[in-house]
Chain A
Amino acid sequence: MCLHSLVIRLKRFLIVILFKCQVSDFPHASVNDLRNINMAVCVSLIGKENAPKYITCLDYEKELDFHYKIHTSLDIIEEKLNSSVKTVNDTRELYLGLLYATEEHKIFGYVTNTKIKIVIIIDANHSSLRDNEIRAMFRNLHAAYADVVCNPFYIPGEPINSKKFNSIVEGMMLSKKI
């Protein structure tokens, strides 16, 4: 039984590798980008069906608050996904931009082609963060997520529990504190 599932997983792994080879324009950010990217106070990955796959935040006391914020941001993500009449060039645009803002935070969104949503909450007082930098953060997260999924021991649909992914996310949140 065990062996059987292992074999299936390994097969899947091979398929994923093939898939990765085919997708040439896969968002791969170099590791160097990571050093300058930070200031997220909360990073979350939300599944295709809107259930959270991964949420982590800087300040665990505010965790619940962030949950609420991300959950409501799903409304805007859906709105953007549904309403926007995308042109041909636009279809490859995964970055959704600023979803909404509160006094303290700005909430940015990103949706992969498989409808995995990435939401990052940025401290609103950190206004020097540029759009490019936020995009880079998303691209890094996307790449990190793709790595997680490529792991044959990861069952798609389950919450993410990967050290590597954690460290990438922590790198985005921890390097500079206001």
Chain B
Amino acid sequence: MNSHVVMNGTLDKVTEVSVSDRKPIVTYAGDKELFLGLEPTLCSSLPQEAAEWRRTYGRAIKSVNVSATFVPFTKDVLPKEGDYHLIDQPMFHTYWTQCSDVEYYKSNVREDIELWMSVLQQFKLSEWMIVVVETYDFRKSNKLLPRTTVYDKIKSDFGAKHADRCLSVINPLRSESRSAGSWRGLVVNTRLLLLAAFDRILLKFEETLREQRDRRNQVGWSFTKYFLLQEELAFVLEMLGVYEEALVQYDELDALFTQFIVNSNLGETPAWLTQFQTPLESWQGLSLTSGVNLKERARIENNSCSLLQFRNYLFSRQCAMLLYSNKPSEVAERTLPFLHNCIRELYLLEVACPVGSVPTWVFLSSVEILQICDTYTDSVHVEQYSRYTAGIWAYARQKLSELGKLCGLMPGQVPSSEQLHLAVEIFSGLGEANTKPVEKLKRALSNHQEFYKMYLELSELAMGTYKHIGRVRCARSLGQDLSDFYRVLGDDQTAASFLQHALLSYDQDGWTKLAAITRLRLASSYLALGDLHRYTKMCLSIACSTELDMPLRMKHYSDALNTISTSKPDPPWSCCLTDCFILTDVDVQVHQGGMNVSATLGIKSLLPVETVSDSVSMAISQYKHESKSSSKHKEALENSRRKSLDSSSSSNLYLLKIPMTLRHDYQQDKSLAGSSLEVKNTKQIVRRQDSHGKYRKISNIAKADFTRYLSAKKVVLKPGLNSVHLTCKESEAGQYRLGQCCITLMEGFELLSPPLPQKVIFEVSHIQPAVLLINHGDMLAGLVQDVTLKICSNSYSVAEDTKVKLKASIGLELKDGDKDWSRVLEVKLPAIKPNSSLELPLKMYAELPNIKDCTNLEHNVMVKNDWSEEEHAIGLNLKPVLSSKLSMQTSKHSKFLHVAVTSVTSLSIKSIVMTPLSSSNVLLIPLNPSMETTTLTPERKIFFMWKMEVENITEHSPFKTELTLHYNPTSGDTTSKKDYIYKCTFDIVNYKTIYLLECRVEPIRGSEFCRVSTVCQLKLKVTKVNKESTVADPDCNSLMYEVLTEHNMWAACGRTAGVLNLTDMDEQTVLLDVMPLVNGYLPLPSVRLSKYIPAGAKSSSGRSEGHPRLEPFSAGQVYNLSKSSQVHVISAASPQDP
């Protein structure tokens, strides 16, 4: 069957032929019966293996599976000149013979072959092959003479130039086992020869094509004719299975056509192109078939093809080639450029397109492509084509919406009769084709519901595919489109959700203008939904969008305020602070003492007008840090002045000063290897900022814990930078961290900041109130002292009537105002503000203790107060105002008491009385001049003297006397207390005179004077005063005397010390030699008497001592009669002076 005939003749029956199913046509001649016997084997074995198609001009070697259709050789089937239907033409001619007899060959077969060859030559055909089929013969196996077989003859007769065209094969039907090798040879050769034949023929054909193409600018040249011609080449390639090559042919044609149209726009339009400029009557969609659409091809042949039809045909052929090559993704890839290109060509050629025709065509074509792609479910393919189908889905959706608008099917539209008519017209342009895409379109355009369904399905698929391939922005953009659809449909909820996503995408990328537009839409969606909270949020955001016009911003601003004031939300609505305000700067000040914390916020308002905020507050929370780092934090706090900057706003990284340090690198020998500048903390500067954390998320920020906060009321925030001062009423001691910032608008809307990017920590330290007692100068015991009770509130405020209880130690009395003196004093305080102090005057009186010396007195006052559990003591150190010292004076038996009274301040004293206590037989006779008062000053001691008369001298028991005197301070208030009385008790013991000591220095006998360097005699006489006393005190009977001489005056000779026993006698005299060393009145050498307690004697303490010891006498027991007496020493006698 000649397919060419089919193409021209039976259009109505067959609309499609598959070229790839066709096989190259090969003729056979000669022994037909023989061939027909071999044909099945040959036909089946040819395509079994691929043969390499080596092509001229260095074209790529293709591997081709050759098959063939065999037809008998007749003159009719041979191609005629100018017939270019290559696939219908036999490309290769074979001659088959099994003649084995050379004689028979010479007589018959040769003639037949020559005849055959002449026909071939007549048709200028050179692609032939002669096959000699032999029967295997053992006898012939050992041929001795060459060129004796028929095959040899044929080779010599015909294969002079083409030896390879003459083949010999052992008939496989007769002896299969022996023929395999030769048969394979035949098959291989046949393949190669056949392909070579194609190569040559195509080469020739290409020459023809080139000629044709070169004539393209000549009058009368037609692209369609050329197209059909070149397509023949494509057909051949397709038939051979080299689809890529076939595609190249189509692509060339495509490019050529496109170029013609582009050129026509610039220059003259060739005549053939006018065919494509006829008004569009049919807009059938693309139909992808693997075969050739004969109907369309016939139209091209008849020049009755419209631009769209031609393009459809060409593209479907290209797609067919791609699909044969298993490249559905490339089909998808080419689709959008193809569709766009066609539309552009329609525009360039000024083709009159009825309304709706082009969108219909695009929609149908897209759907067709998508359907084809859907048949490839292999994941690799899906992954590949999804990158392109997403766009196709979106495009189909767009076109459907255009059609929907035209036909009045979009939401809110009611199709008019014209629009209904248009729908009919649209379908009229589709002919009778009833493909799936057409059915889809018909269903979609039938009514609203179907249309919505289809539209949403396409949108969903487009968005889904976009998301799948990671083009989120594209998906969001579609979503935004879709939100319009939903809004008109009345589904504001869905519309809003699409818009939210789009907004997120724009905000993330920082496309403020698009974000602002989206916010406008979103605001109206929320308003429609009645979601006033979100509406208000959006309105505020819009008011802050500088991209928008001021009136629009103002309108939304006032809308927002109106909404808040009318709806009075409780609990308050909230939104992110950063929508309207930017926190640029936070500075915390902790005031001295820590009661007041204030913060200064730098707030940049983005709102278009001045706004009054009810309150601006900032949460603070207790900051718990790791114990280790505490000190560090404190340091940091001090260093950084607790200041932070919002990194996102004002700090521009490019303007930062880079902290560089100089660095020297040394070699091992300490010589400088290099020096460089380096930045230690590179992370701070070189850190990646783009990929993380910077995106602002539109999420609801939860309100932080605002139990502790800093705040400012009624704050006016102007557009631009504001400085807001926040204060905190009271806060406990501790470390705090600044938390969320909250700006309240209209009492119903809170703008909450995200957490601060930096930790702002401050420390509030509290100092307990302190209670002090202060006086001016030294505190004195024995006089009323003015002291001041000072209360420093420090960090606390002291409430009114807070009590402070003072408890003094024994001997100390306190007095507050007019109250009585007491040891315990309770003071009620007035209110005291923090960091202030209160001073209360108090009077204090410390009793003078009954002591003689003037050591300081230690007192303390325990303070117990309401704010503290613990008592604490205030130590006081008081100086006694008066002190006195008694000394006993003796004159033989008479005793005198001598008292020195000293004072540390100026006092007037009177009524000085010394009264013996506990001993009635002692009489003290004052020897003082009688006086009323006398003044005692620190510089002026006063001495008093009493003579002591003891009635019974023998007793001499110890007794006590008491000094009493009245004193008053000479200055200051004397009214406070009546006379102060000073009492001091003295113990008087061992006052009785036991021994009298008398010393005398006399010149030695014969001399008149004591002379220097002359030995004199020291006479030491100890007399017992009372004999009875020895009984009373046996210790006193043994005495030790010691002569203590001034070394520069006296030199003692002999025993200067000795023991005297006066047990039995009343008087002892010791003579000693002394020698004066200097002349003049010399004081006598002093003599010391001590009690001598011999070893083994019982001591007064009742302890037996191992060795003797001395005990001193009390003052007054020994009376030195010659105390401070002197002796006159004259200078040594000269030798002349006898």
- A residues adjacent to B (C-beta < 8 A): 5, 8-9, 12, 47-52, 64, 67-68, 71-72, 74-76, 78-79, 100-103, 124-125, 127-128, 155-157
Q: Closest Cβ of chain B: how far from A120's Cβ, in Å?
A: 18
A22 → chain B, closest Cβ, in Å? 18
- Asked if B510 is an interface residue, CB under 8 A from chain A, the answer is yes
Assess whether A51 is in contact with B336, with CB atoms less than 8 Å apart. no
Residue of chain A at shortest CB distance from B387: A79
The answer to whether B694 has its CB under 8 Å from any CB of chain A is yes
Chain B contacts to A: CB under 8 angstroms = 262, 266, 336-337, 340, 343-344, 347-348, 391, 466, 469-474, 477, 506, 508-511, 513-514, 517, 652, 654-655, 657, 690, 694
**Max chain B Cβ within 10 angstroms of own Cβ: one of A5, A51, A157:** A51
Closest to B506 in A: A71
CB < 8 Å: which of B262, B347, B466, B652 contacts A157?
B652
Chain B residues, Cβ within 8 Å of A124: 340, 344
Given A72-B473, A101-B340, A127-B262, are A49 and B654 neighbors across the interface (CB < 8 Å)?
Answer: no
Contacts of B473 in A (CB 8 A): 71-72, 74-75
The distance from the CB of A123 to the nearest CB of chain B, in whole angstroms, is: 10
Are A71 and B511 interface neighbours, CB within 8 A? yes
Residue of A with least CB distance to B259: A127
Instruction: Say yes or no: A76-B517 contact (C-beta < 8 A), given A5-B655, A157-B652.
Output: no
Minimal beta-carbon separation of B1080 from chain A (angstroms)? 94
Task: Specify which of B336, B348, B655 is in contact with A101 (CB 8 Å cutoff).
Answer: B336
Chain A nearest Cβ from B686, distance in angstroms: 14
Q: Are A51 and B511 in contact (CB under 8 A)?
A: yes
Chain A at the B interface: mostly helix, strand, loop or mixed?
A: mixed
* B340 lies within 8 A of A103 (CB): yes
Interchain CB contact under 8 A, A71 and B514: yes
Nearest-neighbour CB distance to chain A for B809, whole angstroms, equals 64
Tell whether A51 pairs with B509 under 8 Å between CB atoms, given A8-B655, A75-B471.
yes
Distance, CA A49 to CA B657, complexed state (A) = 23
| CB atoms of A155 and B655 under 8 A apart | yes
Would you give 25 A-B contacts (Cβ < 8 Å), ordered by A? A5-B655, A8-B655, A49-B694, A50-B509, A51-B511, A52-B510, A52-B513, A64-B514, A68-B477, A71-B473, A71-B477, A71-B514, A72-B471, A72-B474, A72-B477, A74-B473, A74-B509, A75-B466, A79-B471, A103-B343, A125-B348, A127-B262, A155-B655, A156-B654, A157-B652
Residue contact A125 to B347, C-beta cutoff 8 Å: yes
Chain A neighbourhood of B517, CB < 8 A: 64
Query: Smallest Cβ distance from A4 to chain B, in angstroms?
Result: 9
Q: Give the Cβ gap from B283 to chain A, nearest Cβ, in Å.
A: 16
- Whether B514 lies near A67 (C-beta < 8 A) is yes
Query: Of all chain A residues, which has the CB nearest B508?
Result: A50
Q: Compute how far the CA of A172 lies from the CA of B690 in the bound complex, rounded to whole angstroms.
A: 31
B348 cross-chain contacts in A, Cβ below 8 A: 125
- In the bound assembly, the distance between CA atoms of A79 and B390 in angstroms comes to 14
Report the 6 A-B pairs with minimum CB-CB distance, sorted nearest first.
Answer: A51-B510, A75-B471, A50-B509, A75-B473, A72-B474, A49-B690
- What's the count of A-B pairs with C-beta under 8 Å? 76
* B481 to A, closest residue via Cβ: A68
- Distance of A72 Cα from B655 Cα, bound (Å): 32
Which among B337, B466, B654 has the highest number of chain A CB atoms within 10 Å? B654
Q: Which residue of B lies closest to A74 (CB)?
A: B473
Cβ contacts under 8 Å, B511 to chain A: 50-52, 67, 71
Residues on the B chain within 8 Å of A52, using CB: 510-511, 513
- Distance in Å from the Cβ of B522 to the closest Cβ of chain A? 16
A76 closest partner in B (C-beta): B471
By a CB distance below 8 angstroms, the chain A residues around B509 are 49-51, 71, 74
Taking the closest CB of chain A, its distance from the CB of B165, in whole angstroms, is 48
With most chain B CB atoms within 10 A of its CB, the pick from A51, A64, A72, A155 is A72
* Interface contact A128-B654, CB-CB below 8 Å: no
User: Which chain B residues border A47 with CB–CB below 8 Å?
Assistant: 510
Give Cα A67 to B513, complex, Å: 8
Q: How far is the CA of A73 from the CA of B654 in the complex (A)?
A: 29
Residues of chain A contacted by B469 (CB below 8 angstroms): 79
Closest chain-B Cβ to A79's Cβ sits at a distance in Å of 7
* Cβ-defined contact, A128 with B262, below 8 A: yes
When chains A and B are docked, how far (Å) is the Cα of A76 from the Cα of B469? 10
**From B358, which residue of chain A is reached at the shortest CB distance?**
A103
A100 x B391 contact (CB < 8 A): yes
Option from B340, B472, B510, B652 in Cβ contact (under 8 Å) with A102: B340
Given A72-B473, A101-B337, A124-B340: A50 touches B655 (CB 8 Å cut-off): no
Whole-angstrom distance between the Cβ of A125 and the nearest chain B Cβ:
6
Chain B residues whose C-beta falls within 8 Å of the C-beta of A78 in the assembled complex: 470
Chain B residue at minimum C-beta to C-beta distance from A125? B344
A12–B340 CB distance below 8 A:
no
Measured in the bound complex, the distance between the Cα atoms of B654 and A62 in whole Å is 35
Q: A8-B657, A72-B477, A155-B654 are in contact. Are A49 and B510 (CB under 8 A)?
A: yes
Q: Which of B343, B348, B509 gathers most chain A CB within 10 Å?
A: B509
Instruction: Give the nearest-CB partner of B261 in chain A.
Output: A127
Contact of A79 among B336, B337, B343, B470 (CB under 8 A): B470
Distance (whole angstroms) from the CB of B507 to the closest CB of chain A = 10
Alpha-carbon separation in the docked complex, A155 to B651 (Å): 12
Cα(A52)–Cα(B512), bound, Å: 9
Q: 17 more A-B contacts (CB under 8 A) besides A52-B511, A78-B470, A128-B266?
A: A8-B657, A50-B510, A52-B513, A64-B513, A68-B477, A71-B473, A71-B477, A72-B471, A72-B474, A72-B477, A74-B473, A75-B466, A75-B470, A75-B474, A101-B340, A155-B652, A155-B654
A-chain residues with CB within 8 Å of residue B343 when the two chains form the complex: 103
Complex Cα spacing A128 to B344, Å: 13
Nearest to B694 among chain A residues (CB) is: A49
In the assembly, what is the distance between CA of A125 and CA of B340, in Å? Answer: 10
Report the nearest B residue to A67, measured CB to CB. Answer: B514
Chain B residues with CB under 8 A of A156: 654
Chain A residues within an 8 Å CB radius of B694? 49
With A50-B509, A100-B391, A101-B336: A75-B472 Cβ-Cβ less than 8 Å: yes
Contact status B652-A68, CB under 8 Å: no
Which of A67, A71, A128, A157: most chain B Cβ within 10 A?
A: A71
A75 cross-chain contacts in B, Cβ below 8 A: 466, 470-474
CB-nearest residue of chain A relative to B266? A128
Chain A min CB distance to B258 (Å): 8
- Smallest beta-carbon distance B515→chain A, Å: 10
Q: How far is the CA of A137 from the CA of B471 in the complex (A)?
A: 27
**B508 vs chain A, min Cβ distance (A):** 8
Which residues of chain B are near A72, meaning CB under 8 Å? 471, 473-474, 477
- A64 CB to closest chain B CB (Å) equals 7
B655 contacts A48, C-beta separation under 8 Å: no
Closest to B399 in A: A103
User: B655: which A residues are within 8 A, CB to CB?
Assistant: 5, 8-9, 155
